[in-house]
Structure 1
Amino acid sequence: MMLAHPLRMTEALLSSERPSIRLHGARLYRCIVVIGWSERLAAERLGLHRTALRRAIAGTSSLAPDLSGWLLDLEAAHLAHPSPHIHKSTAGLRLAEQT
């Protein structure tokens, strides 16, 4: 039995069809908090100007679907695999998600 290469499995998961989600407002802010990024770092990692990120957090604009999907994937990974020394601010978010 031949096992699939991990990279190919990842590519298949990432290329799967997903609805066009455009993060904005509180949901976007929650992703950033769970991942543990500051606003400045989030803008840098997303390749956005800080003003553009602030507008999306304020709800007057939204992120592109590809960035939104990527952030949701990162948030899910952080929630599924928390640090053994989880910070108290994200512990509440994790508990709320489980209920």
Structure 2
Amino acid sequence: MMRVHPLAMTEALLSSESPSIRLHGARLYQCIVVIGWTERLAAERLGVHRTALRRAIAGTSSLDPDLSRWLLALEAAHVAHPAPRRHKSIAGLLAEQT
């Protein structure tokens, strides 16, 4: 199975063709990892209960569309503009997924 670069996936998800995207499962977890948040910090920053975030990561629920779009945009910014000292680690993470 061919994998798509996360930034390309994010651009597709943020397009006007899919205005009600709701992140869940592995894609939600990937966003959190790329941004560099712990589960606790992600829940705090998203303003959701940790249990609700865990359920979304498990795939039994999903984030609201406004939070999903914001999280995807934040992930895209982190991928496009990594911190100078993290550049290699993010590149390595993305290379492992392709």
Could you say which TM-score interval applies, normalised by the shorter chain?
0.7 to 0.9
**Percent identity over paired residues:** 78
Structure 2, unaligned runs of 5 or more = 1-14
Q: Which runs of 4+ in 1 moved over 2 A?
A: 87-97
TM-score (norm 2): 0.75
Q: Report 1:1-99 matches (<5 A).
A: 17=16, 19=18, 20-86=20-86, 90-95=90-95
Query: If you compute each CA radius of gyration, which structure gives the higher value, 1 or 2?
Result: 1
How many residues align? The count is 83
**What are the ranges of 5 or more consecutive residues in structure 1 without an aligned counterpart?**
1-15
For the residues of structure 2 that align with 1:93 and 1:46, how far apart are their CA atoms? 23
Alpha-carbon RMSD: 2.1
> Whose relative contact order is higher, 1 or 2, with alpha carbons under 8 Å and at least 6 apart?
2
Distance 1:40 1:67 in 2: 16
Q: For residues 51-89 of structure 1, what are the alpha-carbon distances to aligned partners after superposition, in whole Å with 9 as ceiling and x for unaligned?
A: 000000000000001000000000000000011111765
